[in-house]
Structure 1
Amino acid sequence: MRSKRKVLGGIVYHCFNRANGRLRIFKKPGDFEAFENVLAEAIDRVDMRLHGYCVMGNHWHLVVQPRLDGDLSEFMKWLTGTHSHRWHRAHGTVGIGHVYQGRYRSFPVQSNKYYRTLMRYVEANPQKAKLVSRAVDWQWSSLAIRTGSKKPFKLCKPIIELGDGWVDGFDNLPEMPEKKIQNSIRRGAPFGDPEWTRQTAAKLGLESSIKPIGRPKI
């Protein structure tokens, strides 16, 4: 039986989920728009603060901040469940398989330079994946909203300033600790400086996520 996550309000989280079997569930504009509509409804239902997002062909990233303890679990359950139901209905596959590979993955992020790094990682995804030559050209992310090329969505004010050169920074992407971020996605490890990571892991019962993998040395 899966353990229940301990999720506290006020903390910023990165959330991620991928389609079952890496199926490309977002193909045409209507697929992306349908997910964004469900996301907007979920935000209204749970009063979630959305800092950033990016929807790709077979997965998506969200950077969110629940107001109350337990809100994130409620938000994600409704979001993925509702989107799965509507996707099946729209594609005539009701009762046939799962849309998502499983439960969403999440990790907390420190509200300082690590937050800014994570936001850059999320919004740069399409460019890193070579889906577009410039991240600003991808319409299914919060970056498109920041540049004004997409109608306003339900983004909240960044928890720290992203900087005047935020958009231009995607033309010359800085080095990002991708291995550390990928480890956090995979293991749920807090993303921040060592002391904050240790304290947050203890607070949320995530101690195992920051322990080295492998057999202990004798």
Structure 2
Amino acid sequence: MSRKPRQWYKGARFHITARGNRGSDLFYDDADFEEYIQFIRWCQEDMPFILHAYCLMTNHIHFLLEVKSHSPGEIMKFIQFRYAKYFNSRHKVYGHLFQGRYYSKLIDTRAYFLAASKYIHLNLNPVEAGICSKPHSYMWSSYPCYLSNKESPILTTKALLNCFQEPKRLRYRAYIMQGGGEAFVDYCKEYRPQGS
């Protein structure tokens, strides 16, 4: 039986996750993280999309992205296929690096857009995993870019920051650090990506 095609349209936003096959690591060192980010950049040049937030964990990734003229599937195939080839060649391993297809959830409201960004920047990821005590200290996340004027070649902060009044960065930080909030709690109940 064939798989049901995923729905998408120009301007659609998605929370996307992908994990290592059987929970195995996707990144062994900083060079791997840097190479993955380079593949994101190349993909944006080839088939433009907007990356609103991301977090690269050792064995899984999170994106909050907005598509333009290419589907999330085309974008993920570009990045994952090239990264898997690089990883297998560099580390002299064989077989599937990623566990099945990526997982995605359509973000269809402003509240979910904000909740997904909080989920990516705070709830599960480096803080909960015990990698760091504060989300802004994790270098493979987009969160530090939201707290400073630091530019990222792959990230667009404008849409999320525009959800807040001035001073936008301080208000976004307060939103991330505050308690759950109804939209966030609902988001976590409805959607805890597989393997994260």
TM-score relative to the length of structure 2: 0.83
Q: Which residues in structure 2 correspond to 1:117-132 (within 5 Å)?
A: 117-124=115-122, 125-132=125-132
Match of 1:165 in 2: 171
Asked if structure 1 preserves the Cα contact closer than 8 Å seen for 2:40 and 2:154, the reply is: no
Structure 1 CA distance, aligned partners of 2:6 and 2:29? 34
Q: Deviations over 1:73-117 (max 9, x none)?
A: 211111111111111111112xx1110011111111124122111
| 1:149–1:26 distance in 2 versus 1, CA, 3 Å | farther
The one-letter code of the counterpart of 2:172 is W
Q: Distance in 2 between matches of 1:110 and 1:144?
A: 25
Alpha-carbon distance change, 18 to 149 in structure 1, aligned in 2, over 3 angstroms: farther
Equivalent residue for 2:55? 54
Q: Distance in 1 between matches of 2:10 and 2:23?
A: 31
User: What is the identity, as a one-letter code, of the residue corresponding to 1:106?
Assistant: S
Give the aligned partner of residue 105 of structure 2: 107
User: Which structure 1 segments of 5+ residues have no match?
Assistant: 187-218
**Are the structure 2 counterparts of residues 149 and 19 from structure 1 closer, same or farther at C-alpha, using a change threshold of 3 Å?**
farther
Measured in 1, the distance between the counterparts of 2:85 and 2:19 equals 16
Match of 2:191 in 1: 181
Distance 1:174 1:48, change over 3 A: same
Q: Residue 90 of structure 2 aligns to which amino acid in structure 1?
A: A
User: Match of 2:21, as an amino acid?
Assistant: N
Q: Which residue of 2 aligns with 1:14?
A: 15
For 2:133, the aligned partner's letter is S
Q: Quick one: higher RCO (CA 8 Å, sep 6+), 1 or 2? A: 2
Following superposition of structure 1 onto structure 2, how do residues 148-163 of structure 1 map, counting pairs within 5 Å?
Answer: 148=148, 152-156=152-156, 157-158=158-159, 160-162=162-164, 163=168
Equivalent position SS for 1:64:
strand
For 1:173 and 1:82, the matched residues in 2 are separated by 39
Partner-residue secondary structure (3-state), 1:133: coil
The CA distance in 2 between the partners of 1:42 and 1:6, in whole Å, is: 20
The corresponding residue for 1:209 is: none
Residue 133 of structure 1, CA deviation? 0.5
Q: How many residues align?
A: 181
Which whole-Å CA distance do the structure 2 matches of 1:104 and 1:133 have between them?
A: 28
Task: Rate the CA distance shift 1:82–1:56 in 2: closer, same or farther, 3 A.
Answer: same
| Residue aligned with 1:84, SS | helix
> Is 2:90 the counterpart of 1:90?
yes
Map of 1:81 onto structure 2: 81
* Structure whose CA Rg is larger: 1
Check the 8 A contact 1:14/1:62 in 2, yes or no.
yes
TM-score by length of 1: 0.75
Do residues 3 (structure 1) and 4 (structure 2) align? yes
Structure 2 Cα separation of the partners of residues 173 and 85 of structure 1: 41
Q: 1:89 & 1:144 partners in 2: Cα distance?
A: 31
Distance 1:5 1:113 in 2: 22
Cα deviation per residue 1:21-49 (whole Å; 9 max; x = unaligned)? 11122131111111111111111111111
Shift of 1:128: 2.1
